[in-house]
Amino acid sequence: MSQDPDRPALPSSIELAWGLREHPRRGPKRGLSLDRIVAAGITVATTEGLAGVSMGRVASELGVGTMSLYRYVSAKDDLLTLMVDAAIGAPPPAEHPEDDWRAGLTRWAVGVRAAYRRHLWALRVPIGGPPIGPNNVAWLEAALRTLGATRLSETEKLSTVLLLSSFVRSEVNLAADIAAASGGAPRDFGYGTMLTVLTDVARFPALHRAIAAGAFNDDDDPDAYFNYGLGRILDGVGRLATGSQREPPARTAGGDAAGG
């Protein structure tokens, strides 16, 4: 496949993932492929954690020399990018194509959350740039398409998707950190009860009102805070998506609308 001179230079592994570069045909290990390398990396990350992933360890998993991997993946960072992309998989097809944007985005966010919860190590991979793998781009496309019939501008659609993605990542990360800190063992009593013991109502009156109202009773429901946060984000998006609420034009120091 000839290289388009106008196409920006991309890592060879990314070009391989998108079918923009021919797979290496010669080498000491017949049958080695990018897919096998990525799958081996995921196996190592799943069983040993992200810290256990190295080019040498992945090569060992495959029973090949480390240098064999570099015919397919130019650097460990590229391998990690491809591992995350493969782990999250392709977005599921819309169950009900006639659903409105809110139902579609809800299903999208729940799907992203489920994918990350299956592969928590993927959240530990540093984000080095925008999504570039085939599956990541497919998830982005799915979310943008869901917003297609709204009144949002294209920039607002993209910003909405990035906001939702950030929320989902943060929620899954926080839940994973809390679970890791507790060692997965059930607590003898909930967070609200702990706060009741540790604090007094005179110093923390607002906190005690929340405790008395049962606001901390959802401690053991892994979906409660996620559903609440997702709902409030979509409430805000909905006011823009339907045109019912728009920010007034920005004002300059002189009082005129920006750009006017």
Q: In the structure, what pLDDT confidence band is assigned to residue 252 with cuts at 50, 70 and 90?
A: very low
Over residues 79-98, mean pLDDT: 87
Angle at 103 between CA 97 and CA 109, to 5 degrees: 110
C-alpha span between 173 and 125 (Å, rounded): 12
CATH code, domain carrying 127: 1.10.357.10
Residue 249 lies in a domain: no
Residue 258 lies in a domain: no
With 60 as the cut, is the pLDDT of residue 254 above it?
no
Residue 223 lies in a domain: yes
111 with 216, same domain: the answer is yes
Residue 21 lies in a domain: yes
112 with 200, same domain: the answer is yes
Q: In the structure, what pLDDT confidence band is assigned to residue 92 with cuts at 50, 70 and 90?
A: confident
CATH code, domain carrying 57: 1.10.10.60
With 80 as the cut, is the pLDDT of residue 147 above it?
yes
Q: In the structure, what pLDDT confidence band is assigned to residue 130 with cuts at 50, 70 and 90?
A: confident
225 with 113, same domain: the answer is yes
Over residues 53-76, mean pLDDT: 94
116 with 171, same domain: the answer is yes
Of the candidate ranges 32-36, 111-115, 145-149, 186-190, the one whose mean pLDDT is the lowest: 186-190
Residue 255 lies in a domain: no
Amino acid at 113: R
Between residues 212 and 181, which one has the greater pLDDT?
212
CA 30 to mean position of chain CA atoms: 35
Asked if 216 and 191 count as a contact pair (C-beta separation under 8 A), the reply is yes
Into how many domains does the chain fold? Answer: 2
56 with 109, same domain: the answer is no
Residue 96 lies in a domain: no
105 with 223, same domain: the answer is yes
Enter the tokens of residue 78: 């590229």
What pTM did the predictor assign?
0.80
52 with 135, same domain: the answer is no
| Residue 32: count of CB within 10 angstroms of its CB | 20
61 with 184, same domain: the answer is no
Q: Is 97 helix (H, G, I), strand (E, B) or coil?
A: coil
Half-sphere exposure of 138 (CA within 13 A, CB side): 15
| Residue found under tokens 């097809």 | 93
Q: In the structure, what pLDDT confidence band is assigned to residue 230 with cuts at 50, 70 and 90?
A: very high
Bridge partners of 251, per DSSP, are 257
Q: Which residues contact residue 76 at a Cβ distance below 8 angstroms, ignoring those fewer than 6 apart?
A: 53, 54, 55
Sign of CA dihedral 213, 215, 220, 225: positive
Q: In the structure, what pLDDT confidence band is assigned to residue 219 with cuts at 50, 70 and 90?
A: low
Instruction: Of 45-59, 182-196, 208-222, 243-257, give the range with the top mean pLDDT.
Output: 45-59
Asked if 88 and 112 count as a contact pair (C-beta separation under 8 A), the reply is yes
Amino acid at 75: A
Of the candidate ranges 20-24, 115-119, 176-180, 207-211, the one whose mean pLDDT is the lowest: 20-24
What per-residue confidence (pLDDT) applies to 249? 44
Residue 204: exposure state from Cβ atoms within 10 A (0-12, 13-18, ≥19)? middle
With 70 as the cut, is the pLDDT of residue 253 above it?
no
Residue 204 lies in a domain: yes
Residue numbers of the domain that contains 50: 12-87
C-alpha span between 129 and 165 (Å, rounded): 14
Last residue of a domain, one of 63, 87, 111: 87
Residue 126 DSSP label = -
Of the candidate ranges 76-90, 154-168, 176-190, the one whose mean pLDDT is the lowest: 176-190
What per-residue confidence (pLDDT) applies to 218? 62
With 90 as the cut, is the pLDDT of residue 163 above it?
yes
66 with 141, same domain: the answer is no
Q: Which residues contact residue 118 at a Cβ distance below 8 angstroms, ignoring those fewer than 6 apart?
A: 87
> What DSSP line would sit under 182-210, residue for residue?
HTTPPPSS-HHHHHHHH--TTT-HHHHHH
Residue 41 lies in a domain: yes
